[in-house]
Amino acid sequence: MPTTESGKPAIVLFRYDLRLADNRALHAASESGKPVIPVFVWDEQTSPHARPLGGARKWWLHHSLNALSATMKARGATLVLKRGKTEAIVDGLIDETGADLVLWNRRYDPQGVEVDTGLKAELARRNVMAESFEGHLLHEPYALRTASGGYYRVYTPFWRALAGQPEPRDPVAAPIGLKSWHGEIASETLDDWNLLPKHPDWSKGFTDWTPGEEAAHQRLADFLDGAIGHYSRERDRPDIEATSRLSPHLVHGEITPVQIWHALKAPKLRDHGADVAKFRREMAWREFCYHLLFHNPALHTENFNASFNAFHWNDRQDHFDAWKQGKTGYPIVDAGMRQLWQTGWMHNRVRMIVASFLIKHLLIDWRKGEEWFWDTLVDADPANNAAGWQWVAGTGADAAPYFRIFNPILQGEKFDPKGDYVRTFVPELAALPGKYLNQPWTAPQRVLDDAGIMLGETYPHPIVDHRSARRRALGAYAETR
């Protein structure tokens, strides 16, 4: 559009796409030559099914909005904050500013789609232009279809289909000069939103993280300079820095998978083809989960495989509490749960172990675990979290077979061979020799004494016995088949 066409402003809606680069809506607004009004809309009200943001993500959102706001300010623009129903907010802004164009990046969670579909209809009714753009996936969900027109329910064919797609679009640069709207617009303030945790101690351990677009790209650069070199071999090792840790940046849209995909083509990675390929496959899991969510709005509340609906879950609160607090008596499980609470994040391998433990050893409903993760993970993702839990539970798409029950002792020994991870997050076991580290209850009394451990006092006895819990789970699952 020519820059002279209209002095009327364009509204750019920000949701969880807190970035300037590869932001197609912002880019198009800027290209239009119109003055731009950037608005972050926090809408948990339009859709009755909207899921309120968890605590850890609220912490992240607070800091990420601060970062985005500052970057915008440096470019002469002001980020407006609004909370409430999207349509009402946009209507109000149009009335206030005379805006005749609204732009946003598409979302793929069903509640987001619902809100944006409603908005589009409202704008059409008002005769205001609306434009939506490809959002935070490599490919639009409707672009990948099985031969029979359905969506993929199995990962491997999904991966083949994705790998057979044309390269994802090129990322777009951050707009060079943002022509901002200079009228006064009432904005809410971050302080009003009370995003930071009420228990201030909680987020004290979130020191590994720097929310915001700049930090996201720094994280990617660090990963490509370092850990990706041994990604394929070490990605399952929670004691080693071998993963990208990009997930919280991705879920807040500070960086896009498209940017990452293209960054993986850097010449310096030429000798790491296997690692890059492995990482791309993990990116494809994220994509796969979003496809599942797109087609299954209740992915976090309903068994994907309905034959599990009759399954009888255990509701022992004391077991659930022990799990949440990292006091199950199984060191690798407890280390994971404490890493989660202390840092807002947990290594993926350990997520599978603790989830398997909750579901199979304790027979507690996967939804309860999913909710806890939703509240405590800085990367809590509507698609990955729900699909991941269902995968472990055996209720999900392409799920782990029901009889696959992780042995927390063997998993600890295999993936934390030196015990560094357990010793970091379960310090009361730090002096225990590796031989007993994942099964302290088998250590001779003298060894426990030497390590300063009193089972039942300084570290709990196992809350369930592995062998009998395993048998119980197999029996319970067999009944539902």
Sequence ranges of the binding site: 231, 243-247, 279, 379-381
Q: In this structure, are residues 380 and 449 in contact, taking their beta carbons and an 8 Å threshold? A: no
* Rounded Cα distance, 68 and 189, in Å: 14
Active-site residue, selected from the candidate residues 389, 391, 407, 438? 389
Say what angle helices 366-376 and 382-393 make with each other, to 10 degrees: 150
Stretch of 35-43, 114-122, 254-262, 464-472 lying at the interface with DNA (CB under 7 A): 464-472
* Rounded Cα distance, 273 and 457, in Å: 50
Tell me the closest approach of the beta carbon of residue 470 to DNA, in angstroms.
Answer: 6
The verdict on whether 391 is a catalytic residue reads no
Q: Which of 404, 418, 435, 461 binds DNA (CB under 7 A)?
A: 404
The verdict on whether 348 is a catalytic residue reads yes
Using DSSP's 3-state secondary structure scheme, residue 154 falls into coil
The verdict on whether 366 is a catalytic residue reads yes
Q: Which of 194, 403, 417, 452 binds DNA (CB under 7 A)?
A: 403
- Our finding on whether 410 is near DNA (CB under 7 A) is yes
* Rounded Cα distance, 136 and 255, in Å: 9
Site for DNA in 246-305 (CB under 7 A): 282, 285
Stretch of 54-62, 113-121, 404-412, 453-461 lying at the interface with DNA (CB under 7 A): 404-412
Q: What x-and-dash track marks residues 40-79 binding DNA by CB under 7 A?
A: ----------------------------------------
The verdict on whether 42 is a catalytic residue reads no
Active-site residue, selected from the candidate residues 323, 366, 374, 391? 366
Enclosing H/E stretch for 80: strand 80-83
Please state, in angstroms and as integers, the Cα–Cα distance from residue 62 to each residue in 69, 306, 378, 419, following that order.
11, 38, 12, 35
Residue 71 or 390 having the CB closest to DNA = 390
Tell me the closest approach of the beta carbon of residue 479 to DNA, in angstroms.
Answer: 12
Active-site residue, selected from the candidate residues 282, 302, 413, 428? 282
The verdict on whether 159 is a catalytic residue reads no
* Rounded Cα distance, 155 and 378, in Å: 25
What number of CA atoms fall less than 13 Å from residue 6's CA on the CB side? 15
- Our finding on whether 401 is near DNA (CB under 7 A) is yes
Q: In this structure, are residues 419 and 289 in contact, taking their beta carbons and an 8 Å threshold? A: no
Return the closest-CA partner of residue 301 out of 345, 358, 365: 365
Annotated binding site for FAD: 231, 243-247, 279, 379-381
Q: In this structure, are residues 107 and 214 in contact, taking their beta carbons and an 8 Å threshold? A: no
Residue 32 or 339 having the CB closest to DNA = 339
Using DSSP's 3-state secondary structure scheme, residue 219 falls into helix
Q: Which residue has the tokens 């991870």?
A: 421
Q: What x-and-dash track marks residues 214-253 binding DNA by CB under 7 A?
A: ----------------------x-----------------
* Rounded Cα distance, 55 and 320, in Å: 19
**Other C-beta atoms within 10 Å of 85: how many?**
18
Active-site residue, selected from the candidate residues 313, 413, 428, 441? 313
Amino acid at position 42, single letter: W
- Our finding on whether 405 is near DNA (CB under 7 A) is yes
Residue 217 or 351 having the CB closest to DNA = 351
Q: Which residue has the tokens 């672009």?
A: 143
Residue count at the site for DNA (CB under 7 A)?
Answer: 21
The verdict on whether 313 is a catalytic residue reads yes
- Our finding on whether 407 is near DNA (CB under 7 A) is yes
Active site residues: 282, 285, 313, 348, 366, 389
Tell me which residues touch DNA (CB under 7 A). 155, 236, 282, 285, 348, 352, 400-401, 403-407, 410-411, 414, 466-467, 470, 474, 478
